[in-house]
Structure 1
Amino acid sequence: MRAEPLSTETRREALEAMAGTSPEDPLDVLVVGGGVVGAAAAFDAATRGLRVGLVELQDLAQGTSSRSSKLVHGGLRYLQMLDFKLVSEALRERDLLLKHTAPHLVRALPFVFPFEKRVLDRAFIGSGVSLYDAMSMRPGEKRPVPFHRHLSRARLRQRFPGLDHDKFIGALEYYDAQVDDARLVMTLARSAHSLGALVATRTEVIEYLRAGAADTADAEAAAAEDAPVQGVAVRDRETGERLEIHARETVLAAGVWTGRQQEAAEVPSGLKVLASKGIHITVPKDRISADDHVGVITQTEKSVLFIIPMGRYWSIGTTDTAWHEDIDTPAPTAEDIDYVLEHANAVLESDLSRDDVIGTWAGLRPLLQPVETDESKSSKVSREHTVMRLAPGLSAVAGGKLTTYRVMAEDVITFALGDRQVHRESLTHAMPLLGGQGYSEWEARAPEIGQTHGWSDETVDRLLNRYGSLLPELLALVEEDPALGEEAPGTGGHLRVEFLYAARAEGALHLEDLLERRTRVFHEVPDRGLGAMDAVIEIVAPALGWDEAAVAREKQAFTQVVEAHLAAERTTSDAEAAALVAEATPDYLAR
């Protein structure tokens, strides 16, 4: 698979190509939704040799898929629920990502689970993790992560000095993995595009096209007659233009937005998805003392507490609270942040305060509610996700979690194709994502790369973890212009070339895309990226075609987003926080 760029030009070409479809010459599959499942569904369909399109209202991964705990894991808590099948599936997918499909993006990460009760905790938690390890074993295959081990109080102190060692008598250490979720989604979308899929972000679905609707008194009558869905009408949010895209099968992968899209499609019944908010905070790396690369996991009365190393900072979360506000604008409140700090301080030696918080994010988990599965309903249900036929030509998938995205994507494409899938099996279990093939060779060259360009080991490791075997594309840009190999001011260590490459090859269209998802500057520096704006704009403006007016709009829009999130962090209710973020959310229409 040859790496093809995602750019403003390829987006324009994708929209033109999709607008050129017709009922007589449709796409095979159109995916609505650019989160992890939508991008994976487009990739899955593309590996089958199908003619594929993907449209996303916002940026790739702008919703839930960039706001997770950024873990790839089997899910210890599901063992407590005795859901062995789900845990086994998730562990299989974790190991596949680590070993084969995305070794550059997904890294093994040890966690310590501290004990307060010497006998009970070691017996109960130890037996659970022993089963967890056993379920990941496969005959003839080498494990990509070590087995768990027990730590004494002294060894725990060495491994994670920052814990409150007066409270804990030891720990269990086991392995899962972590990933930059937003980059995983972008890489999935770019991998799909490299196989021929047409990808267009900032493209809003405004109507579902029904067969015969033009000849019917109105579209509602056509829907009432269960007329097949033949694609969608969209609005290009960059220009305001309306386009029609025709497809044999339309796949809805919209997460918490599923209900909204089902209403737009005017289907009589469908999937019911509720939203639960989970938030995370970031604090500087030097505020918590730990040995090398290790995290902490404990249980709270409402959720799970993770303390996760992420380069120059720690991520701490999460919460689990019902969300009743606008699903477009989740944001952490002061109460959320205080909750996370309180539970972190309960296990840490030195207390953290609000002054230590340098970033936050909030995501909405799509909680799938039970659906009818009798013969009158065409659906496939698992404990974690469901695939359903909403109307002829329109299928949906909802539920699940980040780790099992590939299974969800394969299920919905296979389901949507039905009899059309003959001789077209998914290849996503065998095909590495872009940057994965040949990654180990470039990893072995890390010392040479650092010496040649004067980069620290930390910088080279981070670049390899972001780009894998695509790193030579960035090195070529640096060879053309050595200044691109320097750090961009205010970005917390990111190189200038990373922003240029994001604009040219990774589908970034706006400043927010660059600072919040292609990089995570928004969560890594105290000013949330405001101090980086001028430097980043100088780098990307020519590539994105920004004139002075566009630059002014980008700066104003990003400043408003940052200020709204900072204000939301001081509020006392979800309603207040959501209203502030909604008011500041940029409308990129006709820019």
Structure 2
Amino acid sequence: MTNTWLGPEGREDALAAMRDEELDVLVVGGGIVGAGIALDAVSRGLSVGLIEARDFASGTSSRSSKLIHGGLRYLEQFDFELVQEALQERGLLLTTIAPHLVRPVPFLFPFAHHWERFYIGAGVTLYDTLALTSRNNRGLPSHRHLTRSGALRVFPALKRDALAGAVQYWDCQVDDARFVTTVLRTAAGLGARIASRVEAVGFLREGEHVVGARAADLENGEEISLRARQVVNAAGVWTDEIQEMVGGRGQIHVRASKGIHLVVPRDRIQASSGMILRTEKSVLFVIPWGRHWIVGTTDTAWNLDKENPAASRADIDYVLDHLNQVLRTPLTRDDVEGVYAGLRPLLSGESEETSKLSREHVVAHPVPGLVLIAGGKYTTYRVMAKDAVDAVAHGLGSGIPKSVTDKLPLVGASGYSALVNQRDRLARQTGLHVSRISHLLRRYGTCARDLLDLVREDPDLGRSLAGADDYLRAEVVYAVRAEGARHVEDVLSRRTRISFETWDRGIAAAEEAAELMAPLLGWDDAQAQREVEYYRKGIEAERSAQEQVTDQEADAIQHGAPEIVPDIGAARR
């Protein structure tokens, strides 16, 4: 691979190259599906560009349940094919593609009546069996049945009368935003041109054919033309709007479903395992997350602001109420450190309930030269990308190789296990505690060496970031130099997860982060302070929205928060 760093210079080089050459493929959308498409296409030998209107993974792909899983609940809907496909992808991610980022996590599935043991046990047995019939599903333990006493030893926080027994099974988790950045870095290392804060505002046409896109560089207001033989739209919940831009007749209809998650400190729930609960609408996960728990999610229709979906008081109370039905010591709103909300792009059918809409994906050609892909779930991003690039290959003609991403480790994966075994030696060499080394390895894999080099060059970068002890100052610098972060929010919300892992949601860390970023991005003091102020105002709006009862009230407040980069493209449309 060549340089995988997505720093400021890399962005300028990528934009210059995309202006000057006709690409084989231009991808619109920098979430997990767009990132996967860019990697699949460039690894087949195609010339590839990708643009994202905001930050990479700033939408749904940073606001998920952080799970890599088959979707146990889809067995109840008899969607065995989807579950098996997702379990196969889970195995590939765990063993081949991203063993440094995807890790096993146990879940307890409690039941209130003894007769449920057979029903739940049969479902989990089928789940494990489907995994075993897939490739590369080594490494996860099989499920086990627990008595009430056995379940309470694993999850002491449960009320004794809330369960008759439980089944414990295993799935996987991932930092979703970090995973997207890693996929994009891998694509860049193979030659893909990648730029954030560049919004597609229209399409270039020659007759019926789409031959590229008009785009606005939101950092400076410049409009640029990007020519490509095929354009792939991977805009998720914005799919319908893209179809309208080309006069499409709605071959794909997407409905947005809002899911919110709460983050609470680890000591508020005494347990050594995650947990899954069934609700009347969906399922509720309690997911271990470092020194925290992530609890969610909801599943409700959303037709308001798509860029910043708001969590309301009603959403938060819904999650707490359902969780408190089984907890010995109930949680209150005062126990909630952070809240985040995301939108699932679901394929619309006849059902009025978003919880019943399809999690499968579809690829369409609304006009020649344009491929649309929508639907799906995070775990199956690679399959979605493969199908989209297969459609591109059909449009480009014969001679395009088949997908190889099932055998392609992401940046940071190769040599990861060996480096984990060397963590004590690395700690002695750098003067960092071994727990710090482990933290870096879990987040960066073998790229942790790059951060250790930064600390060797400037030992001051080995200190913790103010207000966020879990993260080093070096991680802010690396987020800009290597991971494409351009604003304080990018670092605190996605390159790290400080925005929902700290009680002040990152406000104390914002100023120091801005000071570290300023010389790397050419900010003067005024711009650095502007970054801090915009971040603070965004958090204030988010918190105020979470006190509102309805979606409409919450959206009105959160939608009013200023953006650090104006949506120039939307204004021009």
Cα 1:338–1:142 change in 2 (3 A) is closer
1:529-565 deviations in Å (ceiling 9; x for gaps): 1111122122221112111121122012111110110
Provide the rounded CA distance (Å) in 1 between the counterparts of 2:42 and 2:136: 28
Cα 1:153–1:516 change in 2 (3 A) is same
2:450 is matched with: 473
Give secondary structure in 1 for the equivalent of 2:303: coil
Deviates more, 1:483-492 or 1:85-94: 483-492
2:245 is matched with: 264
1:436 pairs with 2:431: no
1:33 pairs with 2:29: yes
2:314 is matched with: 335
Cα 1:261–1:191 change in 2 (3 A) is same
Provide the rounded CA distance (Å) in 2 between the counterparts of 1:405 and 1:393: 22
1:78 pairs with 2:110: no
1:275 is matched with: 256
Cα 1:403–1:141 change in 2 (3 A) is closer
Cα 1:451–1:169 change in 2 (3 A) is farther
1:415 equivalent among 378, 391, 413: 391
Provide the rounded CA distance (Å) in 1 between the counterparts of 2:477 and 2:137: 39
1:362 is matched with: 341
Cα 1:141–1:494 change in 2 (3 A) is closer
1:155 pairs with 2:150: yes
Contact 2:107 2:275 in 1 (8 A): yes
1:509 equivalent among 467, 477, 486: 486
Q: Which amino acid aligns with 2:36?
A: A
1:10 pairs with 2:10: yes
1:94-151 deviations in Å (ceiling 9; x for gaps): 0100001001111111101112112x12100001101111111148966220100111
Provide the rounded CA distance (Å) in 2 between the counterparts of 1:385 and 1:147: 29
2:355 is matched with: none
1:111 equivalent among 103, 107, 111: 107
Provide the rounded CA distance (Å) in 2 between the counterparts of 1:567 and 1:442: 44
Give secondary structure in 1 for the equivalent of 2:245: helix
1:216 is matched with: none
Contact 1:209 1:232 in 2 (8 A): yes
Q: Which amino acid aligns with 1:155?
A: G
Deviation at residue 74 of structure 1 after TM alignment: 0.4
1:397 is matched with: 373
1:222 is matched with: none
Contact 2:91 2:137 in 1 (8 A): no
Cα 1:139–1:320 change in 2 (3 A) is closer
1:24-81 deviations in Å (ceiling 9; x for gaps): xx10000000010001100100101110000111000000110100100001111111
Deviation at residue 390 of structure 1 after TM alignment: 1.1
1:483 pairs with 2:460: yes
2:54 is matched with: 58
What TM-score results when the alignment is normalised by the length of structure 2?
0.95
2:330 is matched with: 351
Deviates more, 1:547-556 or 1:414-423: 414-423
Provide the rounded CA distance (Å) in 1 between the counterparts of 2:398 and 2:296: 41
Deviation at residue 420 of structure 1 after TM alignment: 2.7
Cα 1:197–1:351 change in 2 (3 A) is same
Which runs of structure 2 are paired with 1:518-537 in the superposition (5 Å)? 518-537=495-514
Deviation at residue 451 of structure 1 after TM alignment: 4.1
Give secondary structure in 2 for the equivalent of 1:575: helix
Provide the rounded CA distance (Å) in 1 between the counterparts of 2:68 and 2:120: 20
Cα 1:415–1:481 change in 2 (3 A) is same
Aligned length: 560
Cα 1:266–1:142 change in 2 (3 A) is closer
Deviation at residue 177 of structure 1 after TM alignment: 0.3
Cα 1:140–1:364 change in 2 (3 A) is closer
1:295-314 deviations in Å (ceiling 9; x for gaps): 00010111111111101111
5+ residue gaps, structure 2, are 351-357, 569-573
Provide the rounded CA distance (Å) in 1 between the counterparts of 2:416 and 2:196: 28
Deviation at residue 166 of structure 1 after TM alignment: 2.8
Provide the rounded CA distance (Å) in 2 between the counterparts of 1:166 and 1:435: 46
Deviation at residue 235 of structure 1 after TM alignment: 0.5
Q: Which amino acid aligns with 1:346?
A: Q
Contact 1:258 1:398 in 2 (8 A): yes
Q: Which amino acid aligns with 1:241?
A: E
1:166 pairs with 2:193: no
Contact 2:178 2:494 in 1 (8 A): yes
Q: Which amino acid aligns with 1:400?
A: G
Contact 1:385 1:399 in 2 (8 A): yes
What TM-score results when the alignment is normalised by the length of structure 1?
0.92
1:470-518 deviations in Å (ceiling 9; x for gaps): 1111111111111211111111420111111001100000000000000
Provide the rounded CA distance (Å) in 2 between the counterparts of 1:261 and 1:346: 43
Provide the rounded CA distance (Å) in 1 between the counterparts of 2:539 and 2:384: 34
Cα 1:142–1:367 change in 2 (3 A) is closer
1:384 equivalent among 357, 360, 371: 360
Which runs of structure 2 are paired with 1:139-218 in the superposition (5 Å)? 143-212=138-207
Q: Which amino acid aligns with 1:392?
A: P
1:126-182 deviations in Å (ceiling 9; x for gaps): 011011111111489662201001112222122111122232222111000000000
Give secondary structure in 2 for the equivalent of 1:86: helix
Contact 1:3 1:434 in 2 (8 A): no
Q: Which amino acid aligns with 2:221?
A: G
Cα 1:590–1:284 change in 2 (3 A) is closer
Deviation at residue 2 of structure 1 after TM alignment: 4.4
1:355-404 deviations in Å (ceiling 9; x for gaps): 01110000111111249xxxxxxxxxx96000000110001000000000
2:83 is matched with: 87
Give secondary structure in 1 for the equivalent of 2:408: coil
Contact 1:282 1:524 in 2 (8 A): yes
Provide the rounded CA distance (Å) in 1 between the counterparts of 2:136 and 2:481: 39
5+ residue gaps, structure 1, are 213-226, 372-381
1:388-425 deviations in Å (ceiling 9; x for gaps): 00110001000000000000000001112206352411
2:64 is matched with: 68
Cα 1:252–1:141 change in 2 (3 A) is closer
Contact 2:65 2:261 in 1 (8 A): yes
Give secondary structure in 2 for the equivalent of 1:442: helix
Q: Which amino acid aligns with 1:394?
A: L
2:225 is matched with: 244
Contact 1:66 1:182 in 2 (8 A): yes
1:582 pairs with 2:563: no
Give secondary structure in 1 for the equivalent of 2:543: helix
Contact 1:106 1:177 in 2 (8 A): yes
